[in-house]
């Protein structure tokens, strides 16, 4: 990851392999870059290549024990909330695929602009019935109008209802 400056605007460029997968090290670098925005008047976050971010780095997370995985999810939630609460305008320049955690990351921005290209964007967790961390749900509630949300009582997870 790197940060570029153009006057009072900071560009945060995610550079973590081909898909910009969200690993523990990417979260630490992103958190550190957020700390460097104190003198910026606005910021833009983008990916590289054909992906904004393909979400969590599942191969790196697959072998984690339950406690370590819980810690990673708490860290992801904390960084997402910190991005959401930035006191300056944040634009997500979604240059390509933004799925799962990558979509969550894009949704934390004040404005999202998508590149004119074929790209998958969405929360595939909702289709799979996988719950989202509380911080993610609450920030999504702020960004998405209330009527599409419903509580799935059978699974205890929040999901976005598709229009029929």
- Answer yes or no: 101 catalytic: yes
- Name the active-site residue from 4, 124, 128, 129: 124
Instruction: Classify the C-alpha dihedral 92-109-33-54 as positive or negative.
Output: negative
- Name the active-site residue from 47, 55, 96, 101: 101
- Answer yes or no: 125 catalytic: yes
- What count of other Cβ atoms lies within 10 Å of the Cβ of residue 33? 18
Comparing CA positions, the residue from 125, 87, 91 lying closest to residue 105 is 91
- Answer yes or no: 56 catalytic: yes
- Answer yes or no: 58 catalytic: no
- Name the active-site residue from 56, 123, 132, 140: 56
Distance CA 159, CA 137 (A): 9
For 111, phi and psi rounded to 5 degrees?
-140, 140
Distance CA 97, CA 122 (A): 9
Active-site positions read 56, 101, 124-125
């Amino acid at each position: 990851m790197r940060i570029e400056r153009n006057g009072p605007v900071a560009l945060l460029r995610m550079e973590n392999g081909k898909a910009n997968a969200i690993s523990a090290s990417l979260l630490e670098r992103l958190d550190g870059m957020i700390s460097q925005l104190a003198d910026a008047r606005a910021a833009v976050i983008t990916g590289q290549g054909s992906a904004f971010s393909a979400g969590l780095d599942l191969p790196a997370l697959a072998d984690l024990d339950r406690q370590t995985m819980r810690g990673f999810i708490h860290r992801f939630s904390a960084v997402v909330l910190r991005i959401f609460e930035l006191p300056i305008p944040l634009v997500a320049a979604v240059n390509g695929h933004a799925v799962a955690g990558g979509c969550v990351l894009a949704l934390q921005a004040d404005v999202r602009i998508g590149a004119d290209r074929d790209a998958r964007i969405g929360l595939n967790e909702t289709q799979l019935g996988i719950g989202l961390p509380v911080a993610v749900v609450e920030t999504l509630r702020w960004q998405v109008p209330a009527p599409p949300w419903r509580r799935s009582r059978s699974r205890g997870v929040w999901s976005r209802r598709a229009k029929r």
